[in-house]
A and B are shown apart, each in its own frame.
Chain A
Amino acid sequence: MKKIVALFLAVLMLLSFVGCASTGTETGTGEGGAAAADFKVGAIYINSKNDTAGYTFAHHNGIVTAMKAMGMDVDKQLFIVDEVPEDAEQVGAAVDTLVGKGVNIIFGISFGYIDAMETKAAEYPVVIFSHATGYKSNSTNFNNYFGRAYQARYLAGIAAGLKSLAIGNNNVGYVAAYGTEYAETASGINGFAMGVQSVNPDAKVYVKKLGTWADEVNEAAFAKELIDSFGCGVISQHCDSAQPQIAAEKANVFGCGYNSDMTPDAPKAHLTAAIWHWDVYYGTAIKAAMECGEASKFVEKMGTPAYYGGLKENFVDVSPLSENCVEGTDKAIAAVRKLIVDGEWDVFSGVKLSVNAQGEVVKTDAALVDNQGNEIVPAGGESVADSVITGTMNYFVAGVELV
């Protein structure tokens, strides 16, 4: 018995030496700027890393794609703690685990990680913290990132609007996780609705909100009701699953998906989807983290504590147009995309676009008005601030009705 205990203790001591040794080298590389071969990426996921669809999958895919493109070994250089609920204690523990593994940068993908990420960023100044969808940051090692999904949704709205003209049905449905409670959903709905109206000014967008980010059973039911009761001919969505598109296909109407190209899910209904290229950000962030030398210079290297990429950075986009789209949809979308990418125009401004299937765009000064009749931006005015789009947009534009 004594021998076993002694052996056990010896092994334990040996292990602790190894542990010390490895932490030592990591701190060394962390300070001197890590090369691609020994740079370590950490990630905290809300769902399982083994998911094959949905939000976590999209981020995991983005990180893996970005790392592979940089020639990094995902098996050895990516450390993941998954299925972490939005609870400060558990997020903190996940951060501790990752720091213990010696990661150089930690990505937290869920909004509710925000406070824990902030606290831990102060606790570990030699590690970089990067938080998706949040609004907190510091000037050294903690930033947040998100994308102008509303721009992609505007383009998808053009496809939906042209389809609504073609089928002669001005009712467009929208299954949303939330309504005006979150700027993320409100800006998406507004962007989409304005895209629809740019080609079909008479169109009305009926929104049904789920009150939760993922609820597949009701996503299907909500879409069905929009089609059956509100006579919607095109169904758009802000939810993970393809249920609204499948419901559209069953009812012989059309739809615009979200997050991934949903054409395989609903080949006869799907037009195009607003999608994210998360690897664009992850590639940029990992590169900046490698090059910035010290973790405290990360935010400076990124140029901003709040990365907010759009069509221009190719961070958001629309998926390839399906055969269900009206002829000329590609031209109309290309014309508007050019305006946005060139920085000549943005969605929430006092300038309205009028687009047609020939790709002709007419700009007119018109006030941005919400659906209660309040003026948000005067005619000809500048676009609303980014901080409004990400944080405080709590209204629907004219032509949107919550049902």
Chain B
Amino acid sequence: MDKLSIITSFIHSIIVMNIPLLYGTVGEILVEKSGSLNLGVEGTMAVGAVIGYICGCWANSLGVGILTAFVMGALCGLIFAVLTVSLQANQNITGLTLTTFGLGVYFFVGNALRSAKAFPTMNDYDSIRAGFEDIPIPLLSKIPVIGPGLFSHNILVYLGIAIAVLVWWYLKHTSPGLRLRSIGENPAAADSVGISVNRNKYLHICLGCGIMGIGGYYMSLYMSGSFNSNCWINGYGWIAVALVIFANWNPALAIVGTFVFGFFNTLRVSGPSLAVAFPGALGWLAGIPTQLYQALPFIITAIVLVVTSLRGNKFSSGLPAALGLNYFREER
């Protein structure tokens, strides 16, 4: 047993196991900044995952997979937008329905292909497998212990972080981003200065859901496309909704949030091994029951929700003022 390699693999797992949370969170931030609360993250990711995986394999191209997952996610977003923006349906209910719908599509498509013995096996698609291999960053990945853990990842990890930074820059430093934020705060005011509320909402809901779709696709590759009776997304969509609050609607903070969260999430896998490797310092980790490890991410979520609501006006909250409220121009 190599003690230091346990630490390396712990760090590596924190990132590779939890990057879908980042996709989900950043996508949801974009959606919520437009004033729409989409609780359908889980379903959107599931649709992106299964269709993206299948199309990606059929085309034997990671790029096609990413693009398909994005388009499928965006289509789920379009359903949400049509219902809530154009038809003024309740956002919470529409979001929950979208989750049920998305998981239904996931199992329907997956089981149909499995029954027909046509579900693609990732093993058969060299370029998908090769595309998902880790790409070490030169020099940085040579740092002992933490280097290979932090700086050697697959392309979708880098893409996820790049998207998070890009969305942060877009929201904070560009005029379309400013317009979007104004819609989330006060759509009537934004409308009065000539910003097209509905067009912006449509655009950003679809964009955000597309990003979630890529997160789903990531999960399909992480699970090597092995389709079983559990959904690949496994509750990540719900955690992402909570992480949005944790990150205070800031995509850059979402990166931090994902990894803080990931730390506890991954402790479940590596905790007992760390205890065996370092019985003196970390031996107590072995005494924690598995059930507590399982509950940890959700306990953290609850604590975060309490803390963020307690800190109140002292911090500038990123919560869009008009979140969850449909905008109906004639009622202005």
Contact = CB atoms under 8 A, between A and B. Distances in A.
Nearest to A171: B1
Contacts of B224: 220, 243, 246, 250
Interface stretch (A36-44, A64-72, A211-219, A336-344): A211-219
B316 interface: no
A211 B267 CA distance: 13
A87 interface: no
Interface in B200-258: 219, 222-224, 226-230, 232, 234
A168 interface: no
Nearest to B226: A242
Nearest to A242: B226
A231 B8 CA distance: 14
A24 B30 CA distance: 62
A230 interface: yes
A222 B269 contact: yes
Interface in A37-71: 47-48, 50-57
A246 B1 CA distance: 22
B294 interface: yes
B228 A216 contact: yes
Contacts of A212: 290, 294
Contacts of A218: 268-269
Contacts of A57: 229
Given A229-B5, A230-B1, A267-B123, A51 B111 contact: yes
Given A224-B13, A228-B5, A56 B272 contact: no
Given A220-B223, A265-B121, A403-B276, A241 B9 contact: no
Interface residues of A, number: 43
B226 A246 contact: yes
Nearest to A268: B123
B229 A208 contact: no
Nearest to B116: A52
Nearest to B5: A229
Given A48-B107, A53-B114, A402-B272, A229 B294 contact: no
Contacts of A208: 269, 272-273
Interface string B276-316: 11000000000001110110000000000000000000000
A264 interface: yes
A221 interface: yes
A184 B83 CA distance: 49
Given A50-B107, A218-B268, A220-B222, A211 B294 contact: yes
Contacts of A264: 121
A221 B107 contact: no
18 contacts: A50-B107, A52-B111, A54-B230, A55-B229, A211-B290, A212-B290, A215-B234, A217-B222, A217-B232, A221-B266, A225-B13, A225-B269, A229-B6, A229-B9, A231-B2, A241-B226, A241-B230, A246-B224
Interface of B: 1-2, 5-6, 8-9, 13, 17, 107, 110-111, 114-115, 119, 121, 123, 219, 222-224, 226-230, 232, 234, 266, 268-270, 272-273, 276-277, 289-291, 293-294
Given A50-B107, A54-B229, A225-B273, 16 more contacts: A47-B229, A48-B229, A52-B227, A57-B229, A211-B268, A214-B228, A215-B230, A216-B223, A217-B17, A221-B266, A228-B5, A229-B2, A231-B2, A267-B123, A402-B272, A403-B276
Closest 3 A-B residue pairs measured CB to CB? A211-B290, A52-B114, A54-B229
